[in-house]
Structure 1
C-alpha cells in the first residue's frame, strides 16, 4: 500500500465548517456502531438505522461500521477488554481526569483529545466507481482538488497541498503521484484527520508490483542483520547453494540521530541492498523476524539492549528492502532465522574462514534455496562421546571465569539445557541414531537441540564471557576431529572423551 499525506486548503470558512460537521457526525456514527457491535447487532441491522440517526449516506455508514469492526477485532486479538476502549486516546483521557494541569494548558489538552475523538472521516475506494465516490480526486489545470460529499448532492471542494518532505525517492513528486492515483481508475481510500485546527487527508492506494524477473533459479543473496556492531552481512550463492562472494555493509548512521535521519538512511541502505541484487540478477533471502524481546537480560542488559534495538530498527529496514525489491522485480524469500547464527558459527565460519555474521548470512541463503544443514561427521562423533559429567565440570569452570552475573546465569542455563537433552538421548548409540539433517526453517526438534549442545560444548570453553568472533580455532576439529595445540593456563576439566579443555586455545591465542 502507498499512502500520501496532504493538507486541505478550503476556499472559505463555510466550506471548512461543513466538512468539520461531516467529520463530527461520522466519528459519532463510528462510536455508536462500535457500541452496537459489542451488544451483538449485525451490520445489516445497523446500516439503515444509522443513516437516519446521523444523516449520512449508506457508503459513509458502511465505512463507519467497517472501521468499528476492525477496532473491535484488533482489540480482541491483542487480548484486551473491548469494553474499555477510549476513543480519542486513553493516555490523554487519563491526563484530563487527573486535572493536574490548569488554565490554557488544560484547554489545549482538552482540544487535542476532542480533535482525536471527533475529527475523523474514512471513505473506502470502489473499483466499480473508478476510484472513490464520496471523496474523489479531481484535476484542474492549476491544481489538484478533493471533492467531498457533505450531503445529498452537495459537494465541497478543497485544494490538495502535498508535502515536500519525501523519504522514499521512488516517487519524486507527490503531486504527480496524486494525479496518477486520481486518473488510474484504481480504488483509493481517503482518511481525513483534524490536527491543530487543520484538516489533513491521507490517500492510500494498493500498489501493483511487476512479476519478479530475478528469482532463485539463478541463485540468491542472503542478508543477515546485526545491531551490534551495526551492519548487514551478505553472501552470494549460485542456484545449488555454493558460496560465490560475501561482504558486509556498515551502518554507522543508525547509531544515533533523529528518527527522520535514521529513516532516511534506512531507505538508502535498502536501495543499496536491492541494487546489489539487481546487479547480480539474484533473489534476496531475508530473515522473518518476530522481535518480542525489547529488554530482557542477555548479551546486553536493560537500557543498552533497548537502545541498540531501537536505533537499528530491524523490521523497518527489512520492510523497506521487501518493498523496494518488489518494485524492482526482485524475488524476496523470507526464512525462519532460528539457529542460523549457531549453524553458521560452527559449520561455515571455520570452513571458509569468515566471520560468524557472514556465515549466518550463508545459512540464510541456503535456507532460501530449500537446502538443509547436515551436522558434520566429526561433530557428531564429538557429541557421541560427550558425557553429562563433563558438562557439570564445564559449569564449575564458567562459575569461576565469568564475572558478569547476567552472562554467567545465561551460560549456566544453556549448559543445563544441553545436559537435559543429552540425558533424554541416553546412550552414545542413540545419539548417533539421530539423523544428521533436518534443520530446515521452522524445525525446533532434536537436530536444533544438537546444534545447541554443540555450541555449549565447543564454544563456551573458548569464550565463556563474551561472543566469540574468530571461529578459526574450530577448523581442526571440524575437518580432522583434532582439537589443536596445547595451551597452558586453562582449566584442566575435559571436554569430550580424551579431549581436554586445556588443549583448546582461547580466542585470539597465538596472535601477535
Structure 2
C-alpha cells in the first residue's frame, strides 16, 4: 500500500468549518457504531439507523462501521478489553485525568485529545466509481483539489498542498492517480487546527512466477546479534547454501535511518531469492504481546519488536517479493530455534541461527521434523533422577538469578513430562491423549537434557559437541 500525506488549504473559513462539522459527525457515528457492535448489532441495522441519526450518507456510515469493527477486532487480537477502548488516546486521557498540569499547557493537551477524538473522517475507494465518490481528487488549472461531499449534492473544495520542490512528486503522483481512475482511500485528520489528508492506494502486484516448485529461501531474523540468517534448499528440503547478513545499523540511530536500512536489507533478501529462482519462507507476522510458547517467549517477543522492528522488516520483504513476482510463504515460528540447534546445527556444523532458518525453509515446503533415532534412545534412557541432579547442578553453578530460575523452570517441566510417560512403555513420539503435552514437548525436554549441561550460563553458538550423540548415539554421564 502506498500512502501520500498532504495538507488541505480551504478557499474560505466557512468551507473549513463545514468540513470540521462533517468530521465531528463522522467521528461520533464511528464511536456510536463501536458501542452498538459491542452489544451485538449487525451491520445492516446500524447502516439503516445511523444515516438519519448523524445526517451522513450511506457510504460515510458504512465506512464508519468498518472502522469501528476494525478497532474492535484489533482490541481483541491484542487481548485488550474492548469495553475499555478510549477514542482519542488512552495516554492523553490519562494525563488529563491526573491534572498534573494547569493553564495553557492543560488546555493544549485537552485540545490535542479532542482533535484525535472528533477530527476524523474516512472514505473508502471504489473501482466502480472511478476512484472515490465521497472524497475525490480533481485536477484543475490552478492546482490539485480534493472534492469533499458534505451533503446531498453539496461539495467543498480544498487545495491539496503536498509539499514543495523535493516533495513535488507527491502532487504529480496524486494527479496520475486521479486521471487513472484507480480506487484510493482518503482519511482526514485534524492536527493543530489544520486538516491533513492521507491518500492510500493498493498496489497491483504482478503474477507470481517464482514459486516453491524449485525450492525456497528460509529467513530467520535475530535480535542479538542483529542479523538475518538465510538458507537455500531444493524442492526436497536438502540444504544447498546459506549465509548471514549483519544489521548493525538497526541497533541505533534515528527512526528514518533505521527505516532506510530496513528497506536495504529487505532488498538484499529479495535479490538472493530472485537470483536463485526460489520462493521466500518467513515467520508469521502476528506476534502477540504476551509472546508464544516455544520459540517466542514474552521476553524475546518484546526484545524483537522494540530493538529493530522485526515485524516491519518482514513486511518489507513481503512487499518487495510481491513486486518481483516471488511467492512468500508464512509459517508458524514455534520451536524452529530449538529444532535447528539440536538437529541441524551439529549435523551440518552451522550456527543455531542458520539452522533455524533451515527449519523454517523446510516447514515452508510442508516437511515435518522427526526426532532422530539416537535422540529418541537418549530420551528413553533419561530418568527423572538424572534431571533432578541437573537441577541441583544448575542451582550451584549458574550465578545469574534470572537465568537460573529459567533453567529450573524448564527442568521442572521436563520432569513433569517424563513422569507423565511412566505409564507409557517405549515413550512413543506422538501427542499424548488426555494430557496437555504435544510432540514439541519431546524437543523441549531434549533441549533441557543436552543443551543446559553443555553451557548452563548461556546458549552456546557451537553445537559440535552434540554430533557424537546425534550421529553415533554416544553419550556419557548426563
TM-score normalised by length of structure 2: 0.88
CA offsets 1:379-402 (integer angstroms, 9 cap, x no match): 222222222222222222112211
Tell me how far apart the structure 1 counterparts of residues 456 and 255 of structure 2 sit (CA, whole Å): 36
Q: 2:179 aligns with which of 171, 183, 193?
A: 183
Match of 1:196 in 2: 192
Q: 2:289 touches 2:301 (CA, 8 Å); kept in 1? A: no
Q: CA deviation at 1:347?
A: 1.5
Q: 1:384 touches 1:429 (CA, 8 Å); kept in 2? A: no
> What is the DSSP-based 3-state SS (H/G/I as helix, E as strand, rest coil) of the residue aligned with 1:22?
helix
Match of 2:409 in 1: 413
Change (3 A) 1:460 1:124: same
Match of 1:127 in 2: 127
Unaligned runs of 5+ in 1: 439-443, 484-498, 502-512
Match of 1:272 in 2: 268
Tell me how far apart the structure 1 counterparts of residues 236 and 42 of structure 2 sit (CA, whole Å): 55
Q: How does 1:102-251 map to 2 (within 5 A)?
A: 102-140=102-140, 143-162=143-162, 173-251=169-247
Tell me how far apart the structure 1 counterparts of residues 447 and 325 of structure 2 sit (CA, whole Å): 39
Query: Is 1:434 the equivalent of 2:466?
Result: no
Match of 1:451 in 2: 443
Q: CA deviation at 1:471?
A: 0.8
CA offsets 1:407-462 (integer angstroms, 9 cap, x no match): 1111122222222222222379512x436xx9xxxxx9543222222222211111
> What is the DSSP-based 3-state SS (H/G/I as helix, E as strand, rest coil) of the residue aligned with 1:285?
strand
Q: 1:126 touches 1:188 (CA, 8 Å); kept in 2? A: yes
Tell me how far apart the structure 1 counterparts of residues 56 and 250 of structure 2 sit (CA, whole Å): 48
Q: 1:463 aligns with which of 440, 455, 458?
A: 455
> What is the DSSP-based 3-state SS (H/G/I as helix, E as strand, rest coil) of the residue aligned with 2:439?
helix
Unaligned runs of 5+ in 2: none
Tell me how far apart the structure 2 counterparts of residues 81 and 388 of structure 1 sit (CA, whole Å): 42
> What is the DSSP-based 3-state SS (H/G/I as helix, E as strand, rest coil) of the residue aligned with 1:430?
coil
Q: CA deviation at 1:128?
A: 2.3
Tell me how far apart the structure 2 counterparts of residues 303 and 378 of structure 1 sit (CA, whole Å): 32
Q: 2:227 touches 2:244 (CA, 8 Å); kept in 1? A: yes
Q: CA deviation at 1:41?
A: 6.0
Change (3 A) 1:213 1:72: closer
Change (3 A) 1:86 1:41: same
Tell me how far apart the structure 2 counterparts of residues 128 and 142 of structure 1 sit (CA, whole Å): 28
CA offsets 1:362-385 (integer angstroms, 9 cap, x no match): 111111111122322222222222
> What is the DSSP-based 3-state SS (H/G/I as helix, E as strand, rest coil) of the residue aligned with 1:112?
helix
Match of 1:504 in 2: none
Tell me how far apart the structure 1 counterparts of residues 295 and 47 of structure 2 sit (CA, whole Å): 55
Match of 1:338 in 2: 334
Change (3 A) 1:95 1:420: closer
In terms of mean alpha carbon deviation, does 369-378 or 270-279 score higher?
Answer: 369-378
Q: 2:287 touches 2:301 (CA, 8 Å); kept in 1? A: no
Answer with 1 or 2: which has the greater Rg. 1
> What is the DSSP-based 3-state SS (H/G/I as helix, E as strand, rest coil) of the residue aligned with 2:330?
strand
Query: Is 1:385 the equivalent of 2:381?
Result: yes
Tell me how far apart the structure 2 counterparts of residues 89 and 328 of structure 1 sit (CA, whole Å): 39
Tell me how far apart the structure 1 counterparts of residues 381 and 474 of structure 2 sit (CA, whole Å): 14
TM-score normalised by length of structure 1: 0.83
In terms of mean alpha carbon deviation, does 185-194 or 234-243 score higher?
Answer: 185-194
Q: 2:34 touches 2:69 (CA, 8 Å); kept in 1? A: yes
Query: Is 1:283 the equivalent of 2:275?
Result: no
Q: 2:78 touches 2:289 (CA, 8 Å); kept in 1? A: no
Tell me how far apart the structure 2 counterparts of residues 466 and 311 of structure 1 sit (CA, whole Å): 20
Change (3 A) 1:125 1:418: same
> What is the DSSP-based 3-state SS (H/G/I as helix, E as strand, rest coil) of the residue aligned with 2:451?
helix
Q: 1:164 touches 1:174 (CA, 8 Å); kept in 2? A: no
> What is the DSSP-based 3-state SS (H/G/I as helix, E as strand, rest coil) of the residue aligned with 1:4?
strand
Q: CA deviation at 1:85?
A: 4.3
Q: 2:477 aligns with which of 500, 503, 510?
A: 500
> What is the DSSP-based 3-state SS (H/G/I as helix, E as strand, rest coil) of the residue aligned with 1:187?
coil
Change (3 A) 1:383 1:60: closer
In terms of mean alpha carbon deviation, does 200-209 or 94-103 score higher?
Answer: 94-103
Tell me how far apart the structure 1 counterparts of residues 296 and 426 of structure 2 sit (CA, whole Å): 37
Q: 1:384 touches 1:428 (CA, 8 Å); kept in 2? A: no
Tell me how far apart the structure 2 counterparts of residues 212 and 359 of structure 1 sit (CA, whole Å): 28
Tell me how far apart the structure 2 counterparts of residues 205 and 105 of structure 1 sit (CA, whole Å): 38
Tell me how far apart the structure 2 counterparts of residues 450 and 79 of structure 1 sit (CA, whole Å): 30
Cα root mean square deviation, aligned:
3.3
Q: How does 1:298-313 map to 2 (within 5 A)?
A: 306=302, 309-313=305-309
